[in-house]
């Protein structure tokens, strides 16, 4: 089992197999790649581009894919998958970044949600395809991922999925089997500010491990940019959930933090809590405990 970190600054932290820098989040602001790290790029989720090009925003009968649309509760603004200028912009960024770094992970490469997109671009593309509505949406997402894989060439290519193992095809146009042809592995965020009920995250991980045909790496949330430390999960909750997920047979686990300091503080807290480590013996999550032992040797 491999362990990764997902961080919002280009600063590696020792003790992880996979180090991911979030070069472009859904805010749309692009950082500077670190050649020693794998790079995450959010694709069609892009507040910046949605603001500059409001006509690029994807549409539904229930309104646009904007944060102001309360029927969907979007956390960011989302551009249309059929907008060629946006797709080309993202593919060029993916190629340029892949040439400079160890590999690429992509997120927000899917349709906004059920009912999207009904703009003139999508209606025309759907009509030309000869496919039914859901088939066309899935083909659109798969074609983008295929093009992205071609730009990444032979470097690792991780595809991010939203944590819905049942309705992802109908909601987001994600065909897991088709995407597996191009993905090195899948990253499935289980981001939450509370892990008080680990059973739900364990169940999600079991479901994804069952349905995905490539390795799956669930993600756990330590503390993101701007979070109040008192309003996120305590290290004990995160580690208990990590052990519960590890016993499902998933291939890896990724921890998210805003910066290297927060990530290192989490490592220190894990090592220091000897009582918790003793409690977690027998959970079935030995790879997590082995990871903490590794951190302990690094911190000495």
What is the pTM (predicted TM-score) of this model?
0.96
Q: How confident is the model at residue 99 (pLDDT cuts 50, 70, 90)?
A: very high
Reported as a single tens digit per residue, the pLDDT across 247-297 is 999 999 999 999 999 999 999 999 999 999 999 999 999 999 999 999 999
Give the three-state DSSP class for 27. coil
pLDDT at 300 over 80: no
The number of C-alpha atoms within 13 Å of 285 and in the hemisphere containing its C-beta is: 24
pLDDT at 98 exceeding the cut of 90? yes
Helix axes 260-272, 235-246, angle to 10 degrees: 80
Strands (E), 25-152: 38-42, 59-60, 63-64, 104-107
Q: How far apart are CA 74 and CA 108, in angstroms?
A: 12
- pLDDT tens for 146-199 read 999 999 999 999 999 999 999 999 999 999 999 999 999 999 999 999 999 999
The pLDDT tens digits of the residues spanning 212-228 come to 999 999 999 999 999 99
Residue 87 CB partners (closer than 8 Å, separation 6+): 81, 144, 147
Q: How far is CA 260 from the centre of its chain?
A: 19
Please name which of 65, 67, 137, 148 lies closest in space to residue 107, comparing C-alpha atoms.
148
Q: Can you name the CATH fold of 2-299? A: TIM Barrel (3.20.20)
pLDDT digits (tens, 9 = 90+) for 40-74: 999 999 999 999 999 999 999 999 999 999 999 99
Residue 115 confidence (pLDDT) above 90:
yes
């Amino acid at each position: 089992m491999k362990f990764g970190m997902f961080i919002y600054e280009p600063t590696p932290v020792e003790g992880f197999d996979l180090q991911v820098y979030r070069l472009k989040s859904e805010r749309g602001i692009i950082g500077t790649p670190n050649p020693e790290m794998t790079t995450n790029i959010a694709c069609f989720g892009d507040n910046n581009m949605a603001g500059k090009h409001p006509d690029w925003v994807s549409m539904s009968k229930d309104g646009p894919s904007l944060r102001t649309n309360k029927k969907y509760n979007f956390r960011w603004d989302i551009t249309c998958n059929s907008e060629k200028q946006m797709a080309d912009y993202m593919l060029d960024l993916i190629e340029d970044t892949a040439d400079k770094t160890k590999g690429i992970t992509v997120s927000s490469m899917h349709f906004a949600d059920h009912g999207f997109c009904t703009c003139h671009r999508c209606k025309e593309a759907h009509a030309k395809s000869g496919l039914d509505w859901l088939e066309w949406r899935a083909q659109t997402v798969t074609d983008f991922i295929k093009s992205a894989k071609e730009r990444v060439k032979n470097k690792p290519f991780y595809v991010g999925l939203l944590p819905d193992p049942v309705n992802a095809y109908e909601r987001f146009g994600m065909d897991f089997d088709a995407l597996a042809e191009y993905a090195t592995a899948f990253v499935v965020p289980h981001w939450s500010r509370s892990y008080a009920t680990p059973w739900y995250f364990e169940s999600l991980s079991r479901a994804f491990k069952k349905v995905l045909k490539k390795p799956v790496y669930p993600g756990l949330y330590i503390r993101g940019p701007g979070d109040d430390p008192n309003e996120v999960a305590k290290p004990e909750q995160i580690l208990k959930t990590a052990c519960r997920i590890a016993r499902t047979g998933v291939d890896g686990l990724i921890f998210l933090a805003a910066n290297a300091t927060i990530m290192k503080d989490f490592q220190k807290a894990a090592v220091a809590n000897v009582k918790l480590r003793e409690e977690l013996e027998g959970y079935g999550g030995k790879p997590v405990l082995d990871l903490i032992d590794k951190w302990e040797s690094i911190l000495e």
